[in-house]
């Protein structure tokens, strides 16, 4: 169960630069390609002629040409032409609204007439010279909500990511979860602690000493349908922590766009936006590689947790204080799902 | 759904030269081996003793010996002997009629008493010194009818095989489909065009200029259950086209025997019989390699088309003029299926 | 269908020496680890917090720590602690009784209060300086009863293991099957025959001539739930056969512990205990390697037999005299299964 009348990150423009991309999103097989004027188009990946996947075709002058018998598909899902055929009566295929924003292609899997570009969330760190961004994509076999749980409860860092960002003080510091409409926040502040290896690297990247006590923060923000932005960072202790001036801290936002593929698999777009040394491309790459390794440590856990839950579908799980972020995020999703389905079926 | 009271190509005699071959055909697990007198035998691949696959056994003096406990199976599906046992009361397993013809082993998956060797189709190009033959086998995960559609509509050559046999004139030339009893024919003739790379190679193979205008033809013949013979070739333009003398053209027949394995997989025996330079073994091999590469280009398309159709079982496909060959072939199959099932159940 | 109120071999202590082991037994996902005092513990592989597999965690001071959020699990399935949490109300997970015996960890998958260490069978050859033991583990996709059938009818050696332990005299010598309560025995004695290659090697290992006539015996013992011990050996002919003095024979016991993983897969612990040259470690290794190769020859047969039986669920198999060992063993299992289910549900 996932929201469909909403924007999901589908791919990056570079993924469709030279040829179409077939990708399933919210259980729908879609083809993405660069249509007329370079705008990325998303259609059902199903040729109305004989059911061939259009993603095996090619793009010619902004039209998607089926690689089987040459049907030319327009960006509205209506056939434009086919050699030797009158195509006016051909059935249309679904065209999914898309918008290119922040270096991603976003798609609206639900009712097209409800798509509204203004509903793409606003992020201050994209397209902003004060920030740098790097990230990647993992394909994971788990329900998208297990990933939300994961990101809204960072006590797992102590165990899953023990050698990079984990430290016992995360477990020892209580977190506070707040709900404001559809926005769920879980915050944790740690004072006068040692920086773990990843943050030592980040401090050095910002020309700061890495062997002095620091204040550390983690502020997880969930917004629907499945975006989790995590403000993270360390400041030299006593400089104001989260509010310390930029030259006393390393401040970043972990960016997580979780796009359901099926009920038990996701496209997980992860990344990090940082507000220090934004011009330092080598630092961007170094952080991207570090984060990629760290986030790969979650894959086995999530996939085997999913298998366990499928094998025990009726077993109740615990909802502890540390789980409040995930629990509240799921409540927001359930409320919106009920609204969406009521609006559709009511 | 496939016809069962009919002959299908099962394998080549060389496939059973040194040991039995297990192969599923029409949803039935069969074992093929060289029985008494060297005749290829087909039986259920199921030892009546404990259900072991007989194809893991070996052949001894024309009897198939189960590799588990040594049961000796006769070519009629009746147990001949077993160490220390009286076998008279052992249940028989099904023996499938076979016939060796044209370098293939043919099998009749249906009612054995209806098998008639005279129903194996006649082909002028096999066992004929005026012709040469080369071919191969692909295992493809698609309904056998998708492959019939593929072969009865060659407009796909322009897209799937663009670099070898495709050319825009195929799309531009109308085709004509005729039905004569169980025989469906789709023909296309193109005049005064350039020869595409594969046919340039063939022209050179027949000592003909490859850079002059040619007439090209494609005459697809479907006969039940799932044989598609395609007369193909090019002649130097103005020499009579399809009817040009042998020394002015390169004339071949694409040979397609499509044997269902399951409802969604096939054993696809492809090949080419050519009526020029039949003694030139190097040319035979060159054409076989070229055809093997070209026909491999269809595999992804067919398998992903099959996946799409399974995901959308109720969606209607288009039946255009170019699809008439496949559509008519399917009608022949449906009519014969109804007959077969009426005869069986009526 | 398998017995659950019984002991199965689960793993070896070395398998849990450095980290937990996740293994499914009798359709239950279990985690094995070294708990307090070094005793091997078996629990459900399901963290009561969020369903993570505990086998991805680690052991700290005898407690199993979940690798996701640090829940500390006790050996009784009750949570001991969790950072920042009161755990008293946490639901317990199932703790499976275990016992370490004969170099194996045994587990009782059924009702824990019925577990009784005295029910672990007694074997004279383990922990006995007059004997040496070597063995291994195979994971096989077949019903555990197919493996019992295999081991209780050694006529298959002639076919499956023709080059090592098979010989035609096995087929030619009748076997006798007896049932004594839950104990099924199938015996075969062969006199004045040649020793096959494996036994020639064993004779040489015991400093005995390998090129003289021998008497050979095979006495298969089934006991529930699925243990098959096979007394095997050869003696120089005329020295008393099975009863010959130790210095005239090579006498071993093939040890088979068959642990169901699912309805159609098993953990197969195979080995050989031998009563000659027990101190000769090189001989132990040589026999282990030889047996490992021989027993691997059964894998394809068992897995494809299983596939055949699944495809033909209603077909009756033969029950010949050679099958009596397996047939009687299955009857014992069925009787005990009915008892176990009556006791549970009655």
Question: Rounded CA gap, B214 and B195, in Å?
Answer: 6
Model confidence over C180-232: pLDDT tens digits?
999 999 999 999 999 999 999 999 999 999 999 999 999 999 999 999 999 99
The two three-digit tokens of residue A338, written as one number: 């009920």
CB-CB neighbors (< 8 A) of B67 in chain C: 159-160, 301
Nearest CA in chain C to A321: C85
The stretch C139-165 carries a mean pLDDT of 95
| Long-range CB contacts for residues B330-333, cutoff 8 Å, separation at least 24 | B330/B145, B330/B148, B330/B149, B331/B179, B332/B179, B332/B182, B332/B184, B332/B222, B332/B224, B333/B2, B333/B3, B333/B145, B333/B224, B333/B225, B333/B226
Structure tokens at B161: 């095989």
Q: Where are the domains of chain B?
A: 8-119, 132-337
Give tens-digit pLDDT for B174-222.
999 999 999 999 999 999 999 999 999 999 999 999 999 999 999 999 9
Instruction: Quote the pLDDT of residue C324.
Output: 96
Residue A222: the pLDDT is 98
| Average pLDDT score over residue span A90-99 | 97
What is the pLDDT at residue A189? Answer: 97
Mean pLDDT, range A50-78, rounded to an integer: 96
Q: Which residues of B touch C317 (CB under 8 A)?
A: 48-51
pLDDT attached to residue A346: 52
Q: Do C53 and A308 touch (CB under 8 A)?
A: yes
CB A8 within 8 A of CB A109: yes
Determine which helix (DSSP H) or strand (DSSP E) holds B329, and give its type and residue range.
Answer: helix B324-345
- CA nearest A168 in C: which residue? C83
Does the CB of C29 have a partner CB in chain A at under 8 Å? yes
Q: Is C78 on the interface with A (CB under 8 A)?
A: no
Confidence of residue B344 (pLDDT cuts 50, 70, 90): low
The bridge status of strand C63-65 relative to strand B227-236 is: unpaired
What is the structure's pLDDT at C342? 86
The half-sphere exposure of A259 on its side-chain side, counting CA atoms within 13 A, is 27
Say if CB C196 and CB C213 are below 8 A apart. Answer: no
With an 8 Å Cβ cutoff, is A201 touching chain C?
A: no
Compute the average pLDDT of residues A177-182: 98
**Per-residue model confidence (pLDDT) at position A343:** 77
pLDDT in tens, B290-326: 999 999 999 999 999 999 999 999 998 999 999 999 9
B298 in contact with A, Cβ within 8 Å: no
Rounded to an integer, the average pLDDT of C124-153 is 97
Q: What residues of chain A lie within 8 A of the CB of C57, using their CB?
A: 159
* Mean per-residue pLDDT, C158-175: 92
Chain A residue with CA closest to C70: the answer is: A159
Average pLDDT estimate for A213-227: 98
A70 with B158: Cβ contact below 8 A? yes
Kindly report each contact of residues B45-48 with a partner whose C-beta sits within 8 Å and lies 24 or more positions away, as own/partner: B45/C308, B46/B93, B46/C308, B46/C312, B46/C315, B47/B71, B47/B73, B47/B93, B48/B79, B48/B90, B48/B91, B48/B92, B48/B93, B48/C317, B48/C318
Task: Supply A191's token pair.
Answer: 């004072």
Confirm or reject contact between B84 and chain C (CB < 8 A). Answer: yes
Residues 6+ apart with CB under 8 A from B341: none
**Burial label, C140 (beta-carbon count in 10 A; 0-12, 13-18, 19+):** buried
Mean pLDDT computed over every residue of chain B: 96
Q: In what order do the strands lie in the sheet with C8-11?
A: C8-11, C104-107, C98-101
Interface touch C304/B52, C-beta < 8 Å: yes
Question: Which of A27, A43, A56, A68 has the most B C-beta neighbours within 10 Å, making it the best mutation to test the interface with B?
Answer: A68
Give the per-residue pLDDT at B217: 97
Asked if the C-beta of B89 comes within 8 angstroms of chain C's C-beta atoms, the answer is no
What mean pLDDT do residues C73-88 have?
Answer: 96
Mean pLDDT of B131-143: 98
Distance to chain B for C89, nearest Cα, Å: 46
Q: Contact at 8 Å (CB) between B154 and B230?
A: yes
Residue ranges of E strands in chain A: 8-11, 21-25, 28-34, 40-44, 58-60, 63-65, 72-73, 79-81, 95-96, 98-101, 104-107, 132-140, 176-180, 183-193, 214-223, 227-236, 249-262, 265-274
> With an 8 Å Cβ cutoff, is A159 touching chain C?
yes
> What is the pLDDT averaged over residues C313-332?
95
CB-CB contact of C294 with C161 (8 Å)? yes
Burial of A170 (0-12, 13-18, 19+ CB in 10 A): buried
The answer to whether A83 contacts chain B (CB < 8 Å) is yes
Q: Quick check: B50 contacting C, CB < 8 Å?
A: yes
Find residue B322's DSSP bridge partners: none
Overall average pLDDT of the A306-322 stretch: 94
Cβ distance A48 to A90 under 8 Å?
yes
Q: What is the 3-state secondary structure (H, E, C) of B298-321?
A: CHHHHHHHHHHHHHCCCCCCCCCH
How do residues B150-163 score in pLDDT, each as one tens digit? 999 999 999 999 99
Q: Which CATH architecture has domain B8-119?
A: 3-layer Sandwich (2.102)
Instruction: Assess contact for B189 and B173: CB atoms under 8 A.
Output: yes
Residue C344: pLDDT band (50, 70, 90) is low
Predicted local confidence at residue C28, as pLDDT: 97
C308 and B83: CB-CB below 8 Å? no
Buried b (16+ CB within 10 A) or exposed e, A258-273: bbbbeebbbbbbbbbb
pLDDT tier at A344 (50, 70, 90 boundaries)?
low
Residues 6+ apart with CB under 8 A from B88: none
Would you give the DSSP letter of residue C67? T
* Interface contact A53-B158, CB threshold 8 A: no
Q: Does B149 touch chain A (CB under 8 A)?
A: yes
pLDDT at residue B153 in the model? 95
- Burial of residue A139 (number of CB atoms within 10 Å: 0-12, 13-18, 19+): exposed
Say how many C-beta atoms besides its own lie within 10 A of residue A288's C-beta.
Answer: 18
What is the rounded CA–CA span in Å between residue B39 and residue A235? 85
Residues B273 and A161: their CA atoms lie apart, in Å, by 63
**Per-residue pLDDT for A177 more than 60?**
yes
Instruction: Using the predicted structure, report yes or no on whether residue B70 has a pLDDT greater than 90.
Output: yes
What Å distances lie between residue B159 and A52, A82, B256, B317, CA to CA?
12, 12, 20, 19
Which residue of C66, C68, C84 is in closest CB contact with A174? C84
Region A172-182: mean pLDDT is 95
Question: pLDDT band at residue C85, thresholds of 50, 70 and 90?
Answer: very high
Nearest CA in chain C to B46: C308
Contact list in A for residue C48 (CB cut-off 8 A) is: 317-318
Query: Considering only CB atoms, which chain C residues are within 8 Å of A311?
Result: 29
pLDDT of residue B345: 60
DSSP label at B178?
A: E
A334's tokens: 């359930």
Q: Does B176 touch chain A (CB under 8 A)?
A: no
The residue whose two tokens read 């060659």 is: B154
Query: Cα(C184)–Cα(C225) distance, rounded to whole angstroms?
Result: 12
pLDDT value, residue B342: 86
Query: At B78, is the pLDDT very low, low, confident or very high (cuts 50, 70, 90)?
Result: very high
Six-digit token string for C148: 């019992």
Distance from CA of B170 to the nearest CA of A (A): 10
The alpha-helical segments, DSSP class H, found in chain C are 144-152, 157-160, 168-172, 197-205, 281-296, 299-311, 324-345
CA distance B199 to B232: 10
The fold adopted by the segment(s) A132-337 is: Naphthalene 1,2-dioxygenase Alpha Subunit; Chain A, domain 1 (3.90.380)
Q: For residue A259, what are the CA distances in angstroms to A162, A266, A333?
A: 27, 6, 14
The per-residue b/e assignment along C281-296, b for 16 or more CB within 10 angstroms, e otherwise, is eebbeebbebbbebbe
Question: Please, what's the b/e burial string for A201-221 (b: 16 or more CB within 10 A of its CB; e: otherwise)?
Answer: bbbebbebebeeebbbbbbbb
**What average pLDDT score do residues C304-317 get?**
95
∠ CA B283-B292-A66, nearest 5°, is: 130
Q: Of B271, B18, B14, give the one whose Cα is nearest residue B125.
A: B271
Nearest CA to CA, how far is A7 from chain B (Å)?
Answer: 24
pLDDT of residue A342: 86
> What is the Cα gyration radius of chain B?
22
Q: Which of A43, A50, A86, A94 to mutate to test the interface with B (most CBs of B within 10 A)?
A: A50
Per CB-CB distance under 8 Å, the chain B contacts of C315 are 46, 51
User: Which residue of chain C has the CA closest to B57?
Assistant: C159
Element spanning B285, H or E: helix B281-296
CB-CB neighbors (< 8 A) of B174 in chain A: 84
């Amino acid at each position: 169960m996932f929201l469909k009348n909403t924007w999901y990150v589908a791919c990056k423009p570079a993924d469709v630069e030279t040829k179409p991309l077939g990708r399933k999103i919210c259980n729908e097989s879609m083809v993405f390609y660069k249509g007329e004027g370079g705008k990325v188009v998303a259609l059902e990946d199903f040729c109305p002629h004989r059911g061939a996947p259009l993603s095996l075709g090619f793009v010619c002058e902004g039209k998607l040409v089926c690689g089987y018998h040459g049907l030319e598909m327009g960006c509205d899902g209506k056939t434009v032409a086919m050699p030797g055929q009158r195509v006016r009566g051909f059935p249309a295929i679904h065209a999914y609204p898309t918008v290119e924003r922040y270096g991603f292609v976003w798609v609206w899997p639900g009712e097209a007439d409800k798509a509204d570009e203004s509903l793409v969330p606003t992020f201050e760190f994209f397209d902003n010279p004060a920030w740098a961004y790097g990230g990647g994509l993992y394909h994971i076999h788990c329900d998208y909500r297990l990933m939300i749980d994961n990101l809204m409860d960072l006590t797992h860092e102590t165990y899953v990511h023990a050698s990079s960002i984990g430290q016992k003080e995360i477990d020892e510091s209580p977190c506070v979860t707040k709900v404001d409409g559809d926005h769920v926040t879980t915050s944790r502040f740690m004072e006068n602690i040692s920086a773990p290896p990843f943050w030592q690297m980040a401090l050095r990247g910002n020309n700061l000493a890495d062997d002095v006590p620091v204040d550390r923060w983690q502020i997880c923000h969930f917004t629907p349908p499945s975006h989790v932005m995590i403000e993270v960072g360390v400041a030299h202790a006593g400089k104001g922590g989260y509010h310390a001036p930029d030259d006393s801290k390393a401040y970043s936002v972990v960016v997580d766009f979780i796009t359901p593929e099926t009920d038990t698999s996701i496209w997980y777009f992860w990344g990090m936006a940082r507000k220090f040394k934004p011009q330092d491309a080598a630092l961007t790459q170094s952080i991207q590689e570090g984060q990629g390794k760290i986030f790969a440590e979650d894959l086995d856990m999530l996939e085997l947790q999913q298998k366990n839950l499928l094998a025990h579908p009726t077993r109740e799980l615990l909802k502890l204080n540390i789980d409040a972020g995930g629990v509240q995020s799921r409540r927001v999703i359930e409320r919106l799902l009920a609204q969406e389905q009521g609006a559709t079926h009511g």
